Amino acid sequence: MQALTKTDYSFKGQKSVYHGKVRDVYNINDEYLVMVVSDRISAFDVVLPKGIPYKGQVLNQIASKFLDATADIVPNWKIASPDPMVTVGHLAEPYKVEMVIRGYLTGHAWREYRDGKRSLCGVSLKEGMRENEKFDEPIITPTTKADEGHDEDISREEIIRQGLVSEEEYNKLEDYTRKLFARGTEIADKMGLILVDTKYEFGKKDGKIYLIDEIHTPDSSRYFYKDGYQERIEKGEAQKQLSKEFVRQWLISNNFQGKEGQQVPDMSPDFVQEVSDRYIELFEHITGDRFLKADLENLEKRIEQNIRSFIAGV
């Protein structure tokens, strides 16, 4: 199956293009962003060597649905989705922090806790917690937004002290983050899922805060199945989850965590297919919609034509 791992378009009014780990973002006239969600996959801040068919479509369509479903909480950047793998929206100046919110002790937070840390981004963690246990209330653990390399944990106090975000605006970002997470939790619960943790990115345009980038996708979020969650906790078993964490765990089991000198393990066709299937599974579980696979023939050309048609009409 064909996977989109690279784009190199040139559109009318194009000022620049940014190739991120997963997304290729085209600046049109310093007014719009055209975000192409590729099939690239990253873990431990490393782009893996093979693309995952349909992954870009899954991410783009989940994000698009949830941007629409949360527009009453905070304005967002989306204007339209002219292709299954593309969103066009407002160009906003991004804040230099990502707002990470966690409802459960898992992933990075658990690894830090297991290693003896009882404070994460200035938030105190109580003793005696188990992996995947629910926090009394969700905690916000921001990170710096790195252009390259690893994002770093940072506290609220340090963000304000460094002037990355003013105190007044940071308070707004926290408020939006909690409300978005509550909405995502409510939607997931109806689908038999638990929204475990996620990250939100915000930007500013004309003095107004916008939610930007993706939301509640398996790249930015972690989901557990609600059924059997408590039994697994009590037995000390791993949770059944829909997220990219299984890719990270596969890499860890194959001695790769993005550290210097480590080699990315070979991704077999069966493994690539498994990852694709897992992304589609999450789409159907979290949205409640059947995933309709877009035609993969002439993938790059289809995307280009759909974007050109949209730009011509704005």
Per residue in 199-214, pLDDT tens? 999 999 999 999 999 9
Per residue in 128-146, pLDDT tens? 999 999 999 999 999 998 6
The verdict on residue 276 lying in a domain is yes
Tell me the C-alpha distance between 155 and 151, whole Å.
Answer: 13
Number of domain units in the chain: 2
120 and 75 within one domain: no
Q: Does residue 149 carry a pLDDT above 80?
A: no
The verdict on residue 29 lying in a domain is yes
Q: Does residue 150 carry a pLDDT above 80?
A: no
The verdict on residue 255 lying in a domain is no
Q: What's the pLDDT band for 147 if we cut at 50, 70, 90?
A: low
The verdict on residue 292 lying in a domain is yes
Per residue in 84-113, pLDDT tens? 999 999 999 999 999 999 999 999 999 999
Per residue in 6-19, pLDDT tens? 999 999 999 999 99
176 and 124 within one domain: yes
102 and 75 within one domain: no
Range of the domain at 194: 94-243
What's the predicted TM-score (pTM) here? 0.89
The verdict on residue 7 lying in a domain is no
Q: What is the average pLDDT value for the chain, to the nearest integer?
A: 95
217 and 123 within one domain: yes
Tell me the C-alpha distance between 75 and 293, whole Å.
Answer: 29
233 and 128 within one domain: yes
> What distance lies between CA 291 and its chain's CA centroid?
19
Tell me, what CATH number does 290's domain have?
A: 3.30.200.20
DSSP per residue, 168-197? HHHHHHHHHHHHHHHHHHHHHHHTTEEEEE
The verdict on residue 252 lying in a domain is no
Q: What distances in angstroms separate CA 262 from CA 46, 148, 189, 265, one per listed residue?
A: 11, 18, 39, 9
233 and 109 within one domain: yes
The verdict on residue 52 lying in a domain is yes
